[in-house]
Structure formats: C-alpha cells, structure tokens
C-alpha cells in the first residue's frame, strides 16, 4: 500500500448518481464497498463529503432571494445530511464510522477535533468530516485539503465523474489527452477548474499530493491507495 492515510473527497454530485438531486442508494452502496475494501487492507480513510446534490449556496444568490451567507450555511447543512446517510451505508458493511462536524450539533456528530480524528483512524474507524470548514465563502474541496493537512494524510483523493485532468475538455474535444502527472504551477497556468483555486493553493503550500480519479469505476479507490497510476496526480 502506498498511502497509509488518505482523505477521500466525495462530492454531492457523485452521491446523486443519475438522479437530478438527492441521494442514489446504489452509488452509496458502491462507495461504501470501495471504502470497506481499503479499510480491510489496513488503510486509514477519512472522508470530506460535499453537498451540491442537495444545495449549492452560490447558485441561489442570482435570484436575490437567499443571500450568499444564508445559502452557504444551507450548503454546509446539506453536507451533514449526506454525512449521516453515508455513515449508515458504511456501518451497514461493517465499518465503524464517526462523523465530525465543523458546526457544532452535539446529538448528531462530534465537533471537529484533529487528535480525536487521528485516534479514530488509528483504530481502523472511518471519519466523515461534515459542514465543510464551517465558514461561508469556502467549498468542501478546500475543506478536504485543509482536513487532509490537519490529519497528516499522505494523499487527497478527489473522486469525480471524470478519470483525471485532460489537456482539453474531453466532452468537447476528441483529441483531448489525459495528463497523468501535473504540477500545481501548471494547474494554475492551464486554468484547470477541477478544484477551486483556494484548494489548490493550500495543497501546493503544504506539499499535499492530490489525485483526481473516477470514483465510479469499481476498484479504483483501492488501486489509488495501492499506488497504481490511475487518474491524474497533482504534486509540487
Ligand atoms: N460551503 C461553505 N463553506 C464550506 C463548505 C461548503 O459555505 O466550508 C457551502 C457552499 O455554499 C457550497 C455548499 O456548501 O456550495 C456545498 O458544498 P460544495 O459545493 O463544495 O459541495 P460538492 O460540490 O462537493 O457537492
């Protein structure tokens, strides 16, 4: 195994599968299996979960009804709903899972506490971080990078629907080629939007490798943890 401790970022979009919103049970089952398989191998897995399948704060401001900050808090709460759901799916396959939240809500989850999170991981438990960073104007991608650094993860794995970074948009350009390795500097230069700039900057400054990979292909998570070349790896 190449990466003993990893942070998996699961976006809300991944959780909704082919649905237009909400959760897709088969997808959650599949992701729970993926996580189980690597935990059984002795890998330590923490997860940051997104909320875009339920609510994306920013899109609402255009209508001028819900303000930015209110919308962002709604987005953060959406991640809590997803976290509770995914905890159930993980427990269902026998993986002991704790939720830690950036916004206190005592009956639902532990407050975020890095040392405690690390302790859970060392005991073979999965930790799901919810409510992003607890602050508006951020994304769960940035939260994923920060949490990965805080818990001293060896790698951040961003599970998406595409299998990495391409030279052009693969949906629009047939000649688009997949890039296997790329530096953070090139990511900025090429204007790659697979994660927001804040997230990339934080990763760059703290020397955190980020792998962008297709989470929907069965076995991919295990391959990534094992060090097989899948998706795109972004490093310094
Ligand atoms: N959000 C926030 N602060 C955070 C994390 C999330 O304000 O630290 C809000 C923001 O409105 C965002 C929404 O929560 O649009 C859902 O998160 P995100 O869009 O990152 O989820 P994903 O794209 O992974 O589904």
Domains of the chain in start order, with CATH, are: 5-235 (3.40.1160.10)
Per residue in 165-176, pLDDT (tens digit) is 999 888 889 899
pLDDT of residue 161: 87
Q: Is the pLDDT of residue 3 over 70?
A: yes
Q: Is the pLDDT of residue 61 over 80?
A: no
Per residue in 209-222, pLDDT (tens digit) is 999 999 999 999 99
Cα of 42 to ligand 1 centre, how many Å? 30
Q: What is the CA radius of gyration of the chain?
A: 17
Q: What is the mean pLDDT of residues 189-214?
A: 96
CA distance 103 to 73: 10
Q: Which of 132, 137, 146 to mutate to test the pocket of ligand 1 (most atoms within 8 A of CB)?
A: 132
DSSP H or E stretch at residue 92: helix 68-92
Q: Which residues line ligand 1 (CB under 6 A)?
A: 11-13, 50-52, 56-58, 71-72, 75-76, 78, 132-133, 135-136, 138-141, 143
Q: What is the mean pLDDT of residues 176-201?
A: 95
Note if the pTM is more than 0.75: yes
Cα of 64 to ligand 1 centre, how many Å? 19
Q: Is the pLDDT of residue 201 over 70?
A: yes
Cα of 59 to ligand 1 centre, how many Å? 11
Name the closest-CA residue to atom 10, ligand 1. 72
Cα of 198 to ligand 1 centre, how many Å? 13
pLDDT of residue 169: 85
Per residue in 18-35, pLDDT (tens digit) is 999 999 999 999 999 999
| Structure-token match 């500097």, residue found | 185
Name the closest-CA residue to atom 13, ligand 1. 75
Q: Is the pLDDT of residue 60 over 80?
A: no
- DSSP string across 167-178: SS-TTT-TT--E
Q: Which of 69, 79, 193 to mutate to test the pocket of ligand 1 (most atoms within 8 A of CB)?
A: 79
DSSP H or E stretch at residue 88: helix 68-92
């Amino acid at each position: 195994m190449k990466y003993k401790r990893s942070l998996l970022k699961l976006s809300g979009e991944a959780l909704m599968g082919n649905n237009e919103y909400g959760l897709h049970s088969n997808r959650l089952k599949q992701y729970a299996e993926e996580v189980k398989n690597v935990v059984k191998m002795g890998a330590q897995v923490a997860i940051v979960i997104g909320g875009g399948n339920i609510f994306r704060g920013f899109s609402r401001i255009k209508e001028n009804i819900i303000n930015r900050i209110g919308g962002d808090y709604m987005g953060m709460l959406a991640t809590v709903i997803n976290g509770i759901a995914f905890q159930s799916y993980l427990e269902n396959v026998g993986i002991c899972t704790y939720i830690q939240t950036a916004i206190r809500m005592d009956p639902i989850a532990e407050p975020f506490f890095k040392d405690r999170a690390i302790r859970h991981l060392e005991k073979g438990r999965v930790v799901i971080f919810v409510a992003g960073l607890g602050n508006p104007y951020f994304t769960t991608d940035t939260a994923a990078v920060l949490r990965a650094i805080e818990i001293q993860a060896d790698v951040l794995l961003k599970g998406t629907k595409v299998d990495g970074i391409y030279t052009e948009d693969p949906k629009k350009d047939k000649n688009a080629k997949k890039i296997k390795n790329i530096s953070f500097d090139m990511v900025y230069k090429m204007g790659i939007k697979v994660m927001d700039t804040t997230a990339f900057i934080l990763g760059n400054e703290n020397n955190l490798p980020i792998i962008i990979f297709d989470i929907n292909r069965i076995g991919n998570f295990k391959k990534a943890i094992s060090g097989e070349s899948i998706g795109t790896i972004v490093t310094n």
